[in-house]
């Protein structure tokens, strides 16, 4: 490998790191902003938490974005909640699940169900699918 290749990889790693940091900073900013405004509005307990979540979500998904939802059982409530929100804002929703598909299979627009009741095998197939997606985009250069 040449020193040019090493530099290129170094720049790519730095870019990824910088983007991750920026993402975290923006998410924290939105959380603190939401908490501050909720306090000013006199919101308490669940109303405050719901308001803060809405402020955080407002800076993320946009119509046409793709959400890949992964749940071995298809019934993970946090995953289902994210899919519902993504559907509301017009995202394309894709699901990877197992067993019989759970609630996820009917909630997403496109779903791959691994027909197994063995979580390890389900997760193995999910990892393979994720690798296939990554390589598809990597090979588009």
pLDDT of 79-116, one tens digit each?
888 889 889 888 899 999 999 999 999 999 999 999 99
Dist. CA 35–CA 52, nearest whole Å:
6
Q: Summarize pLDDT for 45-64 with one digit per residue, the tens.
A: 777 777 666 766 666 778 88
Closest CA to 78 of 99, 103, 58, 101: 103
Counts for the chain of helices (H) and strands (E), in that order: 5, 3
Q: Which residues contact 104 (CB under 8 A, 6 or more apart)?
A: 69, 71, 74, 75, 76, 79, 80, 83, 95, 97, 111
- State the Cα angle at 26 between 23 and 27, rounded to 5°: 85
CA 138 to chain centre: 19
Instruction: Compute CA distances 38 → 45, 46, 47, whole Å.
Output: 10, 11, 8
pLDDT exceeds 60 at position 1: no
Rounded distance, CA 79 to CA 87, Å?
12
Percent of all residues in the chain with a pLDDT value above 90, rounded to a whole number: 32
Where are any strands of DSSP class E within the chain? Answer: 66-71, 92-98, 110-114
Nearest to 90 by CA among 107, 120, 66: 66
């Amino acid at each position: 490998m040449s020193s040019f290749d090493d530099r290129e990889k170094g720049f790519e790693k730095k870019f990824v790191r910088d983007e991750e940091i920026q993402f975290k900073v923006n998410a924290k900013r939105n959380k603190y902003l939401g908490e501050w405004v909720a306090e000013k509005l006199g919101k308490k307990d669940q109303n405050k938490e719901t308001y803060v979540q809405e402020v955080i979500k407002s800076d993320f998904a946009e119509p046409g974005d793709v959400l890949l939802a992964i749940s071995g059982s298809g019934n993970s409530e946090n995953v289902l909640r994210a899919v519902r929100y993504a559907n509301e804002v017009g995202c394309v929703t894709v699901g990877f699940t197992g067993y019989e598909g759970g609630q996820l299979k009917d909630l997403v627009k496109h779903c791959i169900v691994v027909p197994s009741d063995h979580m390890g095998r389900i997760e193995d197939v999910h990892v393979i699918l994720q690798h296939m997606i990554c390589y598809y985009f990597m090979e588009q250069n």
